[in-house]
Amino acid sequence: MLPCLRRVVLPLLLALPVACDGSAPAAPPDRPSAETPAASPEAEKQYQEALELEAAGRHEEARLAVEKAIAGGSGRDAKLLAAKLAILRDDLDEATRLLEPLASDGGDALVLYNLGLVAQKRGKYNNARSNYLAALKADPNYNPARFNLAVLTWEAGVKDEAQHHARKFIDAVPGDDPFAAKLQQMMGGVAPAPASPGQR
């Protein structure tokens, strides 16, 4: 049953650099600072090309373009795309190398989420769980981390915690959300949290 659950998770897990629900990343896009020079126009062009190639499923070409963008000064967003491409090709060491420097301030939900994903793919339950929880601390509405926490804890047999996260995820997404349906199916049905007396 475990391999089947992992297939359920992957489409949501790999929705980067924008959250699977279409919301903007938790941290603001790259902004030049006094210490960080702005990316060259060519680097920005390479980054946009890499995004288009990745969206078209041309991952190797996207990898080459985003590497050029990073070399030309593109920052966080380009590194997140490069990390996504590394995760897709199961190069978890490269993904970690790209993500860890971005996590230094601990407040970027998307980076923490991706570090959790890498840990989950490596079978490191505690590390994955703590990164997903940190992503939720950085952005309590970051639903991909909540979804992955539900799946991670369910697979580990921590059923009460899994159902807690599943309920919170289901309450936060539209009623026809396919990932909510997958959680319900996986767990044999999870009821939304009961409304508090003030919400009725």
> What residues does each domain of the chain span?
1-16+124-192, 42-107
Q: How confident is the model over 123-145, as a mean pLDDT?
A: 96
3-state secondary structure of 77: helix
Higher pLDDT, 182 or 9: 182
* Ranges 16-25, 28-37, 55-64, 74-83: which has the least confidence: 16-25
Residue closest to 145 by CA, chosen among 127, 161, 129, 132 = 132
C-alpha 78, offset from chain centre = 15
pLDDT digits (tens, 9 = 90+) for 42-70: 999 999 999 999 999 999 999 999 999 99
Structure tokens at 185: 């199916």
Angle subtended by helix axes 109-121 and 125-138, to nearest 10: 170
Question: CATH class for domain 1-16+124-192?
Answer: mainly alpha
Q: In sequence order, what DSSP letters do the residues of 112-175 get, joined into one string?
A: HHHHHHHHHHTT-HHHHHHHHHHHHHH-TT-HHHHHHHHHHHHHTT-HHHHHHHHHHHHHHS-T
pTM for this structure? 0.77
Confidence category of residue 16, pLDDT binned at 50, 70, 90: very low
For residues 104 and 83, which has the higher predicted lDDT (pLDDT)?
83
Task: Dig out the tokens for 100 from the structure.
Answer: 């860890």
CB 96 within 8 A of CB 115: yes
H helix count then E strand count, the chain: 10, 0
Q: Per-residue confidence at 188, pLDDT binned at 50, 70, 90?
A: confident
CB 149 within 8 A of CB 129: yes
